[in-house]
Amino acid sequence: MIRALYTATTGMSAQQAQIDTTSNNLANVNTTGFKKDRAEFKDLIYQSQDYTAGNTSQTTVNPTGIDMGLGVRLSNINKLHLQGSLRETGNNLDIAITGKGFFQIPNEQGDMQYTRDGSFKLDAEGYLVNGSGQKMEPLIGPITSEHVEISITEAGGVYGMLQDGTQQQIGQIALAYFPNPAGLKPQGNNVFLQADASGEPTVAEPGTVGLGRVQQGFLEASNVSLVEEMMNLISSQRAYEANSKSVSTVDSMLQVASNLKR
């Protein structure tokens, strides 16, 4: 009975992790470029009461064995880098990636950050920056009052139209991609950092070497499915309640055992 108590406790802990993960997904359902998380679990070690193929008599063997499971544990929280839907904004500085790739944003320490959030603005110098004021790499700009219109091609070329109608190239967007994007380290603020598990980045222009293209005037929405997450939340709640019921049942059995009279 004590084994059942601890086993049910691991189940409650695992379902709590599932609920925490689902809650984070739901909280970011409207976060631009957010990639949902998926909690993954593994069963714990087994206590063998009788080894598989152990002798049950002089002429027969146990075909299955007797192995008692000891519960479950959280093994991974996997970031699913699936394409989110595109939402038209009409803002010519909003950029969405269709396909593989990340925008590159160096931080104050010089470390390269990677993001799918393409809601860019202009800083006081006329350069393209993210919501935290960090410039895109490579630099795009400066965009000045002489540029009456800004256009961005699917291949990442950024052009400004002058008053006489001529097009002036202002910059070229480059995207980065990793062999294992799920291995990137999330930092919050819609950015990731390279990690050992992600591998080294491939940096190239959009539409080359398997990278996606960019779309001006669009943003990539979160890839969280509200219906799916609500189903996961209900399922996890029910599983948590079932494990809690197991704890209550074992407690009742222990109480009965402790009240037995000789």
**Bridge-based pairing state of the strands 112-115 and 121-122:** unpaired
Torsion angle (degrees, nearest 10) of CA 135, 139, 140, 142 = 90
pLDDT at 51: 58
Does the pLDDT of residue 81 top 90, yes or no? yes
User: Where are the domains positioned within the chain?
Assistant: 2-80+224-258, 86-220
Q: How confident is the model at residue 114 (pLDDT cuts 50, 70, 90)?
A: very high
pLDDT at 50: 63
In the predicted model, what is the mean pLDDT of residues 192-206? Answer: 97
Q: How confident is the model at residue 250 (pLDDT cuts 50, 70, 90)?
A: confident
pLDDT at 60: 76
pLDDT at 3: 85
Could you report the per-residue pLDDT of 218-233, keeping only the tens digit for each?
999 999 999 999 999 9
The mean predicted confidence, pLDDT, of the chain is 93
Give the span between the Cα atoms of 201 and 186, in whole angstroms: 16
Long-range pairs for 194-198 at CB < 8 Å and ≥24 separation?
194/112, 194/114
Could you report the per-residue pLDDT of 16-60, keeping only the tens digit for each?
999 999 999 999 999 999 999 999 999 998 887 765 556 667 777
In the predicted model, what is the mean pLDDT of residues 229-240? Answer: 96
pLDDT at 233: 96
**DSSP secondary structure code for residue 146 in this structure:** T
Does the pLDDT of residue 92 top 90, yes or no? yes
Does the pLDDT of residue 15 top 80, yes or no? yes
Residues sharing a CB contact under 8 Å with residue 232, sequence separation 6 or more, in sequence order: 18, 22
pLDDT at 68: 85
Edge-to-edge strands, sheet with 149-152: 149-152, 157-161, 167-172
Angle at 142 between CA 137 and CA 143, to 5 degrees: 120
- Comparing CA positions, the residue from 149, 127, 150, 151 lying closest to residue 139 is 127
In the predicted model, what is the mean pLDDT of residues 7-22? Answer: 96
pLDDT at 85: 97
Does the pLDDT of residue 77 top 70, yes or no? yes
Give the span between the Cα atoms of 176 and 193, in whole angstroms: 12
Does the pLDDT of residue 262 top 60, yes or no? no
Task: Classify the C-alpha dihedral 245-251-254-258 as positive or negative.
Answer: negative
Determine contact, residues 110/102, Cβ cutoff 8 Å: no
Does the pLDDT of residue 71 top 90, yes or no? yes
Torsion angle (degrees, nearest 10) of CA 206, 212, 213, 214 = -100
Could you report the per-residue pLDDT of 147-193, keeping only the tens digit for each?
999 999 999 999 999 999 899 999 999 999 999 999 999 999 999 99
Residues sharing a CB contact under 8 Å with residue 243, sequence separation 6 or more, in sequence order: 8, 9, 11, 12, 15
Q: Which amino acid is at 234?
A: I
Task: Tell me the whole-structure pTM to 2 decimals.
Answer: 0.88
Q: Which residues of 29-51 are buried (b: 16+ CB within 10 A; e: fewer)?
A: eeebbbbbbebebeeeeeeeeee
pLDDT at 261: 60
